[in-house]
Structure 1
Amino acid sequence: MWKLLSFFARFYTPGKFIRFIRGTGRRLHFLPKLMTIFYCMQDKDTPKFVKLALMGALGYVILPLDLVSDAFIGIGWLDDAAVVAAALRLAGTYVKPEHLEKVRRMFPFANV
């Protein structure tokens, strides 16, 4: 499992993530959850193994070729949403109120 996370983490960089958000990301319903992952990953208190998992999740979402191609309208983002949900579940207690507050400021009507 860690090899798989490490593989997808290679596709994550802050620059790639920003480009993704500017392009495709705005159309995603789970964008607030992606931003929660991003803020949790940036936190110095988040353990390295959790950061690796979060980087893997972001890398998977950024990567255009994954289990179900994002080109398939309607179902193409389901695998990405599942990866994001799993990453947030793993991060659990490391997601701080400050992370959620930053996301709420960006997306006032989002459910985070």
Structure 2
Amino acid sequence: MWKLLLFFTRFYSPGRFLRFLSKTKGKLHFLPKLLAIFYCIQDKDTPKLVRLVLMGAIGYVILPIDVVPDFLPVAGWVDDAAVVAAALKFAAAYIKPEHKEKVRRILPFAHCDW
């Protein structure tokens, strides 16, 4: 499990994440959650283990080759959404209200009630 997580963290970087966002153009329904994860990674109060898990989650989403390839309509993003949901559950205690507020500033109509 940890080796797989470390594999996906190699694909995470803030620049790669921002390029990914520009390519998806907000088409992902889990984009607010993905942004909250990004802000949690940036927070210096987030423990290293939690950051590692969150980086692995974003790395998995960024990588186009995964369990269900992203180019498949609808189904291609289901596994990515599941990874994001699991990462949020793991890091729930570290997603601060200010992370959600940053998401709301970027995506004013985002529902951040998770």
Coarse TM-score class (shorter-chain normalised): over 0.9
Residue 65 (structure 1) aligned with residue 75 (structure 2): no
Correspondence for 1:37? 37
- Letter aligned with residue 2 of structure 1: W
RMSD: 0.8
Specify every segment of 5 or more residues in structure 2 that has no aligned partner in the other structure, as ranges.
none
SS of structure 1 residue aligned to 2:93: helix
Cα deviation, 1:27-84, whole Å, max 9, x if unaligned, reads 1111111000000011001000000000000000000000000111011000000000
Correspondence for 2:83? 83
How much does 1:25 deviate?
4.9
C-alpha distance in 1, partners of 2:92/2:33? Answer: 13
How much does 1:110 deviate?
1.1
C-alpha distance in 1, partners of 2:40/2:19? Answer: 19
Residue 7 (structure 1) aligned with residue 14 (structure 2): no
Q: How many residues align?
A: 112
- Percent identity, please: 67
Runs of 4+ in 1 over 6 A off after TM superposition: none
**TM-score where L is the length of structure 1:** 0.97
